[in-house]
């Protein structure tokens, strides 16, 4: 139950961030639309967003957490603190150098991210300046990830998980300012949001650093030295960041190709935000919690327990991911219409983004499976294998995008990204099975089949329900359309829940008994006399 509790903690924190992100994106669609101004901002925002997902959502931790966890177990807090301070000193110098180089090389970065902007000097210049404003966010995220990895190793998941919400809080506040000042649809709105990203980076860093100080584990600055710990982190970290961020690199490749298609960058960005909700809530929660959990079990020689944890983690992830993927394929138009179609966001934009949402959703189970499989490599300090496999998937993404764009436009880019995710997931799983590091039990196979059937039943119900409430979904009243979408989604969830119980895809009684036993244990502990408490060591 502790594993599920940690999944729930990180999942709820990520859900809070994503809900705030939805509010942000709804405002942003209304304030920026899907035209040239929005394209410019989203290209510039791609860099900090890329590094947020690379570092804050687990790739940096893939290298750092096993090293820090080992030091904590073998040398105690003093040894772990020395390791952290050695790494911090070198990391800080590297981040300052990278930031300076990036500020000077901003035109080159924009040229790589959006080569299609070269034909519009004003658009290129705006993207270049916005990139310079937002680039320090990358350094903040690297330091935030390091602090978050330490908190996770101590079993403190909440603050590290809630910290990303601060980005959305600051951006929503900036959008409120844009609305009040009447800057909607102007370049001023995009520059205001760029400065908001800059501020949010320091807010997130302050939150996790403050939490480390609160638990009595402050980290001091030292003179940078290339110690054995630093060299080990570099050896693990570079391929770890690459392999952990293959999905994000694929999206960057898609952005570069999309920059040649008018408005396509914005359409793909809004679609990305929709499917990132389940990916963030489920995939990130499982990945963040599973890595330190597997590391501890493998260090203790509990191989069988580690396999059980992997099976249950994949089962848990797919129980939430499969219905989400089916729903996004079944009713993408209704979702985009209700959430975004207002202000500068037109009906044509709804059609374009809905097609991309469905294409991304086809790869959603693979995206989440990658988050489940990669920690098995990282916990064994093997970052090389996932990196090599990730490069194969990137090749598939590039080839698929170039092949499908002439026929399907921006939707082909989304389909290629999903195809690349499946290739990556299958390669990761195949290698784990061959090495004996993943063995699926009969319960996992049975439940995955039943969960897939329950999800398909839900999808059929959503398609039929959408036809029944089509008029309500298209109503100009936001309350009417919003309630119609909410009712549609609630009905689909109800069908899925009934199907899961009817097929036995989830042992509801066992979970219920476990929760009751947990509550009884807490009550018994609360009623016990103070003198009976076992003194802490």
Q: Nearest CA to 255 among 244, 241, 242, 266?
A: 266
Residue 437's CB is within 10 A of a number of other CB atoms, namely 20
Asked if residues 289 and 157 have their Cβ atoms less than 8 Å apart, the reply is yes
Using CA atoms, how far apart are residues 147 and 338, in angstroms rounded to an integer? Answer: 38
Q: Are residues 79 and 151 in the same domain?
A: yes
Residue 526 falls within a domain, yes or no? no
- End position of a domain, from candidates 387, 414, 440: 440
Q: What's residue 1's pLDDT?
A: 45
Q: Are residues 251 and 300 in the same domain?
A: yes
Average pLDDT per consecutive 10 residues, the chain (537 residues; last block may be shorter): 55 65 75 77 76 56 74 82 86 87 87 81 88 88 83 73 81 88 84 92 89 83 81 70 62 78 83 77 63 68 77 84 93 88 81 93 90 81 80 88 90 92 92 88 87 94 91 82 90 92 73 59 58 37
Asked if residues 107 and 167 have their Cβ atoms less than 8 Å apart, the reply is no
Residue 167's CB is within 10 A of a number of other CB atoms, namely 26
Alpha helices in 105-164 (DSSP H): 106-113, 121-134, 136-153, 158-162
Residue 533 falls within a domain, yes or no? no
Using CA atoms, how far apart are residues 451 and 466, in angstroms rounded to an integer? Answer: 22
Q: Are residues 470 and 367 in the same domain?
A: no
Q: What is the largest CA-CA distance in the chain?
A: 77
- End position of a domain, from candidates 382, 417, 440: 440
Q: Are residues 149 and 276 in the same domain?
A: yes
Q: Are residues 344 and 463 in the same domain?
A: no
Total count of domains within the chain: 2
Distances (CA, A) of 312 to 101, 286, 316, 317: 45, 11, 6, 8
- End position of a domain, from candidates 403, 422, 440: 440
Using CA atoms, how far apart are residues 319 and 334, in angstroms rounded to an integer? Answer: 23
Residue 482 falls within a domain, yes or no? yes
Q: Are residues 206 and 239 in the same domain?
A: yes
pTM value is 0.67
Residue 322 falls within a domain, yes or no? yes
Using CA atoms, how far apart are residues 77 and 79, in angstroms rounded to an integer? Answer: 6
Q: Nearest CA to 203 among 136, 151, 157?
A: 136
CB under 8 Å to 488, separation ≥6 — which residues?
331, 334, 462, 465, 466, 469, 473
Using CA atoms, how far apart are residues 472 and 480, in angstroms rounded to an integer? Answer: 6
Spell out the SS3 assignment of 175-239: HHHHHHHCCCCCHHHHHHHHHHHHHHHHHHHHHHHHHHHHCCCCCCCCCCCCCHHHHHHHHHHHH
- Structure letter (DSSP) for residue 530: G
Q: Are residues 368 and 464 in the same domain?
A: no
Using CA atoms, how far apart are residues 93 and 112, in angstroms rounded to an integer? Answer: 25
Domain that holds residue 362: 2-440
Q: Are residues 513 and 415 in the same domain?
A: no
Using CA atoms, how far apart are residues 258 and 152, in angstroms rounded to an integer? Answer: 37
DSSP for 263-297, written as a single string: THHHHHHHHHHHHHHHIIIIIIHHHHHHHHHHHHH
Q: What's residue 490's pLDDT?
A: 92
Asked if residues 189 and 178 have their Cβ atoms less than 8 Å apart, the reply is yes
Q: Nearest CA to 1 among 513, 504, 524?
A: 513
Please give the angle made by the CA atoms of 187, 191 and 195, to the nearest 5 degrees: 170
Using CA atoms, how far apart are residues 342 and 445, in angstroms rounded to an integer? Answer: 44
Q: Are residues 192 and 280 in the same domain?
A: yes
Residue 535 falls within a domain, yes or no? no
Q: Are residues 357 and 452 in the same domain?
A: no
Residue 527 falls within a domain, yes or no? no
Run of H or E including 365: helix 364-378
Residue 401 falls within a domain, yes or no? yes
CB under 8 Å to 512, separation ≥6 — which residues?
none
Q: Are residues 395 and 492 in the same domain?
A: no
Q: Are residues 287 and 418 in the same domain?
A: yes
Distances (CA, A) of 111 to 120, 121, 303, 451: 12, 12, 48, 44
Q: Nearest CA to 12 among 294, 273, 320?
A: 320
Asked if residues 331 and 466 have their Cβ atoms less than 8 Å apart, the reply is yes
Residue 91 falls within a domain, yes or no? yes
Q: What's residue 269's pLDDT?
A: 81
Q: What's residue 362's pLDDT?
A: 94
Asked if residues 419 and 397 have their Cβ atoms less than 8 Å apart, the reply is yes
């Amino acid at each position: 139950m502790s594993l599920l509790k940690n999944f729930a903690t990180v999942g709820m924190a990520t859900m809070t961030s994503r809900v705030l992100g939805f509010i942000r994106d709804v405002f942003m669609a209304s304030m920026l639309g899907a035209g040239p101004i929005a394209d410019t901002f989203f290209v510039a925002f791609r860099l900090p967003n890329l590094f947020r997902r690379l570092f804050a959502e687990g790739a940096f931790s893939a290298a750092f957490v096993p090293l820090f966890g080992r030091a904590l177990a073998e040398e105690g807090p003093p040894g772990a603190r020395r390791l952290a301070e050695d790494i911090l000193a070198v990391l800080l110098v590297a981040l300052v150098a990278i930031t300076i180089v990036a500020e000077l090389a901003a035109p080159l970065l924009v040229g790589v991210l959006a080569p299609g902007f070269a034909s519009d000097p004003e658009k290129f210049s705006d993207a270049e300046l916005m990139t310079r404003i937002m680039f320090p966010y990358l350094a903040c995220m690297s330091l935030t990830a390091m602090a978050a990895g330490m908190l996770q190793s101590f079993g403190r998941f909440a603050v590290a998980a809630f910290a990303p919400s601060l980005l959305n809080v600051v951006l929503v506040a900036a959008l409120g300012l844009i609305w009040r000042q009447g800057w909607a649809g102007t370049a001023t709105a995009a520059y205001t949001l760029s400065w908001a990203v800059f501020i949010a980076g320091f807010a997130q860093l302050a939150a996790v650093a403050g939490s480390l100080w609160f638990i009595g584990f402050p980290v001091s600055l030292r003179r940078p030295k290339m110690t054995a710990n630093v060299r080990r982190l570099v050896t693990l970290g570079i391929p770890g960041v690459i392999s952990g961020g293959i999905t994000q690199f694929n999206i960057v490749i898609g952005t570069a190709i999309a920059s040649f298609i008018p408005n396509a960058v914005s359409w793909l960005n809004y679609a990305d935000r929709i499917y990132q909700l389940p990916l963030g809530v489920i995939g990130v929660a499982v990945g963040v919690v599973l890595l330190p959990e597997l590391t501890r079990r493998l260090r203790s020689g509990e191989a069988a327990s580690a396999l059980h944890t992997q099976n249950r983690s994949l089962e848990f992830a797919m129980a939430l991911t499969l219905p989400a993927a089916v729903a996004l394929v079944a009713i993408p138009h209704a979702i985009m219409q209700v959430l975004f179609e207002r202000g500068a966001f037109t009906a044509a934009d709804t059609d374009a983004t809905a097609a991309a949402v469905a294409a991304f959703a086809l790869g959603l189970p693979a995206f989440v499976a990658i988050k489940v499989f990669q920690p098995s490599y990282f916990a064994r300090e093997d970052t090389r294998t996932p990196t090599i496999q990730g490069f194969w998937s990137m090749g598939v993404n590039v080839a698929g995008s170039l092949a499908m764009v002439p026929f399907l436009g921006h939707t082909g880019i989304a389909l290629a990204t999903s195809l690349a995710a499946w290739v990556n997931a299958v390669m990761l799983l195949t290698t784990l099975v061959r090495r004996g590091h993943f063995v699926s039990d009969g319960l996992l196979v049975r439940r995955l089949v039943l969960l897939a059937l329950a999800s398909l039943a839900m999808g059929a119900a959503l398609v039929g329900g959408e036809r029944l409430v089509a008029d309500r979904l298209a109503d100009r009243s936001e309350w009417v359309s919003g309630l119609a979408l909410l009712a549609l989604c609630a009905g689909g969830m109800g069908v899925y829940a009934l199907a899961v119980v009817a097929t036995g895809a989830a042992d509801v009684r066992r979970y219920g008994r476990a929760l009751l036993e947990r509550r009884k244990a807490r009550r018994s502990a609360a009623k016990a006399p103070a003198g009976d408490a076992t003194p802490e060591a």
